[in-house]
Amino acid sequence: MKKLLYFLPIFVLLSCENSNPNFQKDAADAEFVHRTMKKITDVIVHDIFSPPVASRIYAYTSIAGYEASLNNEKYQTLAGQLTDFKPMPKPTANQEICHPLASVHAMLIVGKTMIFSEDKITEFEAEIYAEFQEIGIPKAVFEHSMAYGETVAKHVLAWASEDNYKQTRTFPKFEVNLDDEARWQPTPPDYMEGIEPSWNKIRPLAIDSAQQFQPPFPTEYSLDKNSLFYKELMEVYNVRKNLTVEQTEIAKFWDCNPFVSTHKAHLMYATKKITPGGHWINIVSIAARKSNSDFMQTLEAYTMTSIALMDGFISCWDEKYRSNLVRPETVINKNIDEDWLPLLQTPPFPEYTSGHSVISSAASVALTSIYGDNYAFEDTSEEEYGLTVRSFKSFYDASAEAAVSRLYGGIHYRPAIDNGVTQGKALGHFVVQKVKLK
């Protein structure tokens, strides 16, 4: 925060003396929001945040931007709608505010506080604030707007600091039960410990509790060849052996593993990608741009989607570490084929339910509530990672593909996918019914 205060006078001194009478309209360019969220995503990828932690960054950043942008009766505050979120401080009376500038400033403060590589945000701040100045915002308005954005950011950060995130950093590591073959065990190639085993202790935003949308129990573990579990296991095994070109493409498109390690001889290198939540945040930008959404509707889309994502991860992770189900790779290698490999690298946490299924379904409900069903779009999210563009008839179509991609990837049994979809859709519908931005 001290760094922020250091830069503020510089921006004020550099602000344009010749003000633009249309500065409010010109500043309300949704591209400022899109670029800010993209920068946050880029830093999340660089810093290798886990999917649950990334969802928390997106949510608080979006909420800060949304709250700082409120300046008319069409949209309403989230105060009183989200757990423990108190009313926002009001702008100083008789001081004109450029709310788009305040919004972007609030987003960058929150995002910068929650990531590691602050220098990457600082560079972007200098660039984007200079662009706001070039619009011709009066010096006093620029200063008041920056101050208000900081006030909103501090309010959101104070609220975020009470969600148990800091406390969970010191909670005990997950204890692997090696004596029970049905329970999760670390998987190749790095045999990482289970990530975020206490994520269900994070305070939810909209849902009542982490257990509110608890799915049915997973299929009972059994190696009896006539059992349902064995049939589900063999489905994963056989699908992997008979993958089509398109199924392979689908699995890789939705992989979204923020840290894939590759081992060659004595060397190991990592490939960084967006998280599953980051993929859906990018879909927000695609839909908003295609619809020519204005500044406020763009923030509405990011905010509703990020709330659904964060609560989706809390709900999903609660079930993952309760059922603590073993991954297909472990069972197949030990009991069927020691040389079998999934197409995708198995993520380091229990199998049930599928995170992709839960959060993609929740996000698709949020986006459908804003842009409608049968909203066709081209998903270019993975182009920068060397993958193709995929076309979808709707957000539900995209989320269904994201869910089944985990079967193609060889990392989930079908119940984790199907029950995860049900879990995520129920959660998403609850969020859009409870949280009203208009």
Query: Per residue in 149-162, pLDDT tens?
Result: 999 999 999 999 99
Question: What is the distance between the alpha carbons of residues 41 and 172, in angstroms, rounded to a whole number?
Answer: 29
Is-contact 326 393, C-beta < 8 A? Answer: no
Is-contact 11 129, C-beta < 8 A? Answer: yes
Segment (H or E) for 377? strand 377-379
Question: What is the distance between the alpha carbons of residues 357 and 204, in angstroms, rounded to a whole number?
Answer: 19
Helices (H) and strands (E) in the chain, counts: 16, 4
What's residue 360's pLDDT?
99
pTM: 0.95
What's residue 13's pLDDT?
43
Do 204-210+220-434 and 2-166 fall under one CATH topology? yes
Nearest CA-CA partner of 14 in 136, 147, 150: 136
Please give the backbone phi and psi of residue 379, each rounded to the nearest 5 degrees, phi first: -95, 105
Q: Which CATH class is domain 2-166?
A: mainly alpha
Fold of 204-210+220-434: Vanadium-containing Chloroperoxidase; domain 2 (1.10.606)
Local confidence band at 145 (pLDDT 50, 70, 90 cut-offs): very high
C-alpha 221 chain-centroid distance: 31
> Structural domain boundaries of the chain?
2-166, 204-210+220-434
The DSSP letter of residue 201 is G
What's residue 5's pLDDT?
43
pLDDT above 90: residue 265 = no
Q: Strands of 187-282 (E only): list them.
A: 260-264, 267-271
